[in-house]
Amino acid sequence: MIENTFCHVPGIGEITEQQLWAAGIMDWGSFNRLEKLPLSRAKITCIRNEIRISQDALGSCKPGYFYHRLKSGQHWRLFKDFRYRVAYIDIETTGLGFFEDYITTVSLYDGRRIRYYVHGDNLDRFIEDIFEYDLLVTYNGKCFDIPFIERYFRTPLPHSHIDLRFVLSSLGYKGGLKRCEQHFGLSRDALDGVDGYFAVILWQEYLATGNCRALETLLAYNIEDVVNLEFLMHQAFNLKVANMPFADQMTLDIPLRPDVPYCADLALVEQLRNRMAMSGFGGWGHR
C-alpha cells in the first residue's frame, strides 16, 4: 500500500493521488516509467525526488518516515508493509489516569507471540520489550493507553501508531472496542459484559485475597483485547482498500486466532458481579 501512496509527498493531496490512480499510475514504479504525466514539471520533479527517499525508507523498514508525512486519517496505510514489525497492545489500570492510578497489566501480541506483564512482577519488562517494534496498533490508545504508559514509565514512545478507534469510526463502526467486535461477529463468551471497570474489580480481588484465578481472569480479558485487535486491524485494512483500483492486490488474509493462555473463571466472575450488584457499584465505562 505504501508504494501506491503519493499523498505523503508535500503538495500532493488525496484528490491528486486519486487522479494519478485513475490515469493508471498506480504506484511509484509506474510513475517513474512514464514520460508523460498529468502534472506540472515542478510536481513531477518533487514526486520523483520523494519516491527515491521513500524507497530507501521502505527498504530500511522505517514506518516513521511515512507516519510523519501522512495525515492521521491515512496512518492505516502503514499496516500491510510493516505488519511484521507491529505490536498490538492494551493496558488495564486502576482508574482513568488520576495521580494515584497505575497500570495493573499490559498485554502485547505481535502476530506470533503473546506477552503479558503484571504490576509487582514483570511490568518493567514491557517498556524494554516494546522497543523491539516499530508500529503500534491500539484501540483508543492515542487518547488513553499511550499517554498513560508514557506518564507511568516516564518514557516517550516514538513509535508509529495506528489507533483502530479512528480507523473503524471512519468506516462507520463506533461505540467502543467491544461493540466493534460484535459488529464483526466476535464473541468473548465467558468474558461478554466484562469491561474496564470490572477489570479493576478483578485486580482489587487479586490484591485483597491473593486469588490467582482473579489475576488469570484479568489476563484472559486483557489478552483477548490484543488478539482481537489483530483480527479487527486486518478487517479494517481490507475495508479501506476495497474501493481502490488495486484492491485485489492489497487484500490481506485474516490470520488464525492464537491460543490464549488463560481462561476466565466463570464462577468468580458471577460472584463478583453479584457482589457489585448488592453493593450498588456502578462503573466508569469501558474503552
Residues 164-220: tens digit of each pLDDT: 999 999 999 998 999 999 999 998 887 877 888 899 999 999 999 999 999 999 999
**Across the chain, how many H-helices and E-strands are there?**
13, 5
Q: Above 70 in pLDDT, residue 286?
A: no
| The pLDDT of residue 191 | 82
140 and 117 in contact (C-beta within 8 Å)?
no
| The pLDDT of residue 281 | 57
Beta strand extents in the chain (DSSP E only): 86-93, 103-109, 114-118, 135-138, 160-163
What's the chain's average pLDDT? 93
Distance separating alpha carbons of residues 74 and 12, to the nearest angstrom: 14
Q: Above 60 in pLDDT, residue 284?
A: no
Q: Which of 96, 188, 186 is nearest to 143 (CA)?
A: 96
Residue 238: count other Cβ atoms within 10 Å of its Cβ: 16
Percent of the chain at pLDDT exceeding 70: 97
| The pLDDT of residue 283 | 52
Segment 127-150 mean pLDDT: 97
Kindly report, residue by residue over 224-280, the tens digit of the pLDDT: 999 999 999 999 999 999 999 999 999 999 999 999 999 999 999 999 989 888 876
The CA-CA-CA angle for residues 249, 6, 78, to 5°, reads 60
| The pLDDT of residue 204 | 96
| The pLDDT of residue 4 | 98
Q: Above 60 in pLDDT, residue 82?
A: yes
Kindly report, residue by residue over 90-112, the tens digit of the pLDDT: 999 998 777 899 999 999 999 99
| The pLDDT of residue 285 | 45
Residue 122 DSSP class: T
Q: Which of 223, 222, 226, 218 is nearest to 272 (CA)?
A: 218
| The pLDDT of residue 190 | 73
| The pLDDT of residue 123 | 98
Put simply, whether the predicted model's pTM sits higher than 0.75 gets the answer yes
